[in-house]
Amino acid sequence: MNKYRSHNCNELNKSHVGKKVLLSGWINKIRDHGNLLFLDLRDNYGITQCIIDNENKNFSKIEKIQLETVISINGKVLDRSTETINKEIKTGEIEVSIESFNILGTCKELPMPIFSDQEYAEEIRLKYRFLDLRRKKIHENIILRSKVISFIRNEMSNLGFLEFQTPILTSSSPEGARDFLVPSRLNPGKFYALPQAPQQFKQLIMVSGFDKYFQIAPCFRDEDARADRSPGEFYQLDLEMSFVEQEDVFNVVEKLLISTFKKFSNKKLMFNKFPKITYSDALLKYGSDKPDLRNPLIINDITDIFTREDVSFEIFKKLVKTGSRVRCIVTKSTQDKPRSFFDNIDKWAKDQGASGLAYFTIEESDEIFAKGPIGKFFSREALEKIMEKTQAKVGDSVFLACDKQKELEKITSLARDKIAKDLDLIDENIFAFCWVIDYPMFERDEQTNKIEFSHNPFSMPQGDIGKINFEKPLDILAYQYDIVCNGIELSSGAIRNHIPELMYKLFSIAGYDKKQVDEKFSGMINALSYGAPPHGGIAPGIDRIVMLLANEKNIREVTMFPMNQNAQDLMMDAPSNVSENQLKELSLLLKLKK
């Protein structure tokens, strides 16, 4: 027999009564009754109550042990009397009478309790992550993550995908996020970059003829953190397929996500076939390219109304004349909501930096009229027109915002969330997936006024390649798509451009000449000219998938050893200083800002 344990802490039940057992684990809790003591022993699998009384010579020794000490216990399994059965734990029908014990690992006074549902400051949780990870909730989250990943691996293999590793030390690319750089000792003055995603490698794998690839790939981007975005590194289910069209990728990913979410969550799926929303529709109806479809509120554009003679809301009319637009959100049957409901939302909008949200409620006595601070500015005909455009009915309220398109999208999108929350319109027990499709190939940078790739420069433009109008680059759509779930962007992907001439052409629109493309993307562009198959793929974010499945709002709750918001690892003390000698070997000199 193993010298540490004969059973795990979740294993023993009535059938073991009378048996001698050996258990090892952490002391989760001690309840000391003076001459009788209960000790909850915990391991990865569960908890077993152990018991000892003062007739045992070890009694006084065991009374003195710190919680979280690791011990092994020799004892006998006892039946519990009916009234002492604990239904909360799997081993609650029995207990182990301690005959002897051994201390395997001592424990100092704890900086934070393990056995507690209390919330703790992240600083202390991250510094003592190894203790934090012993706690039930996060321990289970991390186990869930492991199970999800192995399930996905299995499914991908079954679907005929091959798993490959790609380099971690690679070259810096000019597009996209900030790179993490690694100085090269053997090539003084030169740097590797950690991959932001294995984008070029996976395309090269297709050119190499492997047909279907996937990888649970680490990705590194040196950008600031958010609740749903780790600083530094995260994982994607990176996949790529040859000889496919957009629909083929959709079919694979939909199947995978549906089976994963059905297996690991009890929440309902709102759609068994993911709806497809075009990028431009998403921005109009939801103000965002990551709409939360659990939220029934829809944004409508009613700019036209404010060019009418019988509308006298001069502030908006004036703004509309100078190119602003007016969009609104209709809330159903809110005529009886108190004034404070509306004013709170207006105040909230002002706090968000907008000029506020105007509102009125549609009512009817002899005829239809608008009630509220700005109601008097609308004629009956104008109101009817608004009702027709927005499907609003008597008793509904209309919230309006007026601004330049981009700002307007932002505030209406936020307002959509805010109002839905206030009205409790979002069903938390649902996953609402959708595809966002037809992204534009290019967009204009507002500051520099330059044309830039809006997403991935390697995406294939839509339409007949011979007939694309390159004179109007902003009108070119790409076979570029995202998956969104509950307002969280889960992945983005594309059918790739495998035609070198077309690639040069598109890069030239974004301001890169042939030489620059050859330099920056030498591996890729070279490979594409040696017989590249049409191919495409996508890369769902693993951390966010697990976050949704674990019902967590913060990505650190599903990350084993996360960094804090300033990209520091408080446990390992990274990043840290390095010696002069290390710098010298790398031909580096520090020039720190004061």
Partner RNA sequence: GGGGGUGUAGCUCAGUUGGUUAGAGCGAUCGCCUGUCACGCGAUAGGUCGAGGGUUCGAGUCCCUUCACUCCCGCCA
Q: Which of residues 473-512 bind RNA (CB under 7 A)?
A: 492
- Which stretch, 112-120, 186-194, 279-287, 338-346, contacts RNA (CB under 7 A)? 112-120
Q: How far apart are CA 89 and CA 87, in angstroms?
A: 6
Which residue bears the tokens 């994982």? Answer: 235
- Which stretch, 83-91, 138-146, 254-262, 384-392, contacts RNA (CB under 7 A)? 83-91
Q: How far apart are CA 477 and CA 368, in angstroms?
A: 43
- Which stretch, 24-32, 274-282, 501-509, 516-524, contacts RNA (CB under 7 A)? 24-32
Closer CB to RNA, 379 or 568, in the complex: 568
Closer CB to RNA, 6 or 69, in the complex: 69
Does residue number 177 form part of the binding site for RNA (CB under 7 A)?
yes
Among 2, 57, 109, 247, binds RNA (CB under 7 A): 109
Does residue number 176 form part of the binding site for RNA (CB under 7 A)?
yes
Report whether the peptide linkage leading into residue 575 is cis, meaning its omega lies within 30 degrees of zero: yes
Does residue number 454 form part of the binding site for RNA (CB under 7 A)?
yes
Q: Binders of RNA among 545-584, rule CB under 7 A?
A: 554, 556, 564-566, 568
Closer CB to RNA, 227 or 572, in the complex: 227
Which residue bears the tokens 């499914």? Answer: 155
Does residue number 36 form part of the binding site for RNA (CB under 7 A)?
yes
**Cβ–Cβ < 8 Å for 129, 571:** yes
Q: Is 185 left (phi over 0), alpha (psi -120 to 50) or beta?
A: alpha
Does residue number 85 form part of the binding site for RNA (CB under 7 A)?
yes
CB of 449 to RNA, least distance (A): 14
Among 5, 11, 51, 151, binds RNA (CB under 7 A): 51
Closest alpha carbon to 496 in 532, 550, 521, 472: 532
- The two beta strands, 276-278 and 433-437, are parallel
Cβ-proximal residues to 369 (8 Å cutoff; 6+ apart), any chain: 362, 363, 375, 380, 383
Among 8, 17, 90, 122, binds RNA (CB under 7 A): 122
Does residue number 526 form part of the binding site for RNA (CB under 7 A)?
no
- Which stretch, 34-42, 155-163, 270-278, 297-305, contacts RNA (CB under 7 A)? 34-42
Does residue number 229 form part of the binding site for RNA (CB under 7 A)?
yes
Does residue number 26 form part of the binding site for RNA (CB under 7 A)?
no
Tokens, residue 240: 């790529």
CB of 555 to RNA, least distance (A): 8
Closest alpha carbon to 183 in 588, 567, 593: 588
- CB burial of 63-98 (b: ≥16 within 10 Å; e: otherwise) equals eebebbebbbbbbebbebeeeeeeeeebbbbbbbeb
Q: How far apart are CA 470 and CA 506, in angstroms?
A: 8
Residue type, 9: C
Q: Is the dihedral of CA 575, 581, 587, 591 positive or negative?
A: positive
Does residue number 120 form part of the binding site for RNA (CB under 7 A)?
yes
Closer CB to RNA, 226 or 263, in the complex: 226
Does residue number 457 form part of the binding site for RNA (CB under 7 A)?
yes
Q: Binders of RNA among 281-340, rule CB under 7 A?
A: none
CB of 228 to RNA, least distance (A): 6
Closest alpha carbon to 563 in 235, 236, 231, 234: 231
CB of 118 to RNA, least distance (A): 5
Does residue number 521 form part of the binding site for RNA (CB under 7 A)?
no
Does residue number 108 form part of the binding site for RNA (CB under 7 A)?
no
Residue type, 348: W
| H-only helix segments in 391-422 | 405-422
Which residue bears the tokens 């710098």? Answer: 583
- Which stretch, 32-40, 242-250, 260-268, 356-364, contacts RNA (CB under 7 A)? 32-40
- Which stretch, 174-182, 300-308, 427-435, 464-472, contacts RNA (CB under 7 A)? 174-182
Closer CB to RNA, 311 or 478, in the complex: 478
CB of 372 to RNA, least distance (A): 28
Rg of the chain's alpha carbons, rounded to an integer? 30
Q: How far apart are CA 299 and CA 277, in angstroms?
A: 14
Which residue bears the tokens 């994963």? Answer: 260
Q: Binders of RNA among 385-414, rule CB under 7 A?
A: 410
Closer CB to RNA, 577 or 581, in the complex: 577
Among 80, 134, 337, 514, binds RNA (CB under 7 A): 80
Q: How far apart are CA 258 and CA 272, in angstroms?
A: 7
Burial environment of residue 189 by CB neighbours within 10 A (0 to 12, 13 to 18, 19 or more)? exposed
- Which stretch, 27-35, 383-391, 422-430, 462-470, contacts RNA (CB under 7 A)? 27-35
Size of the site for RNA (CB under 7 A): 71
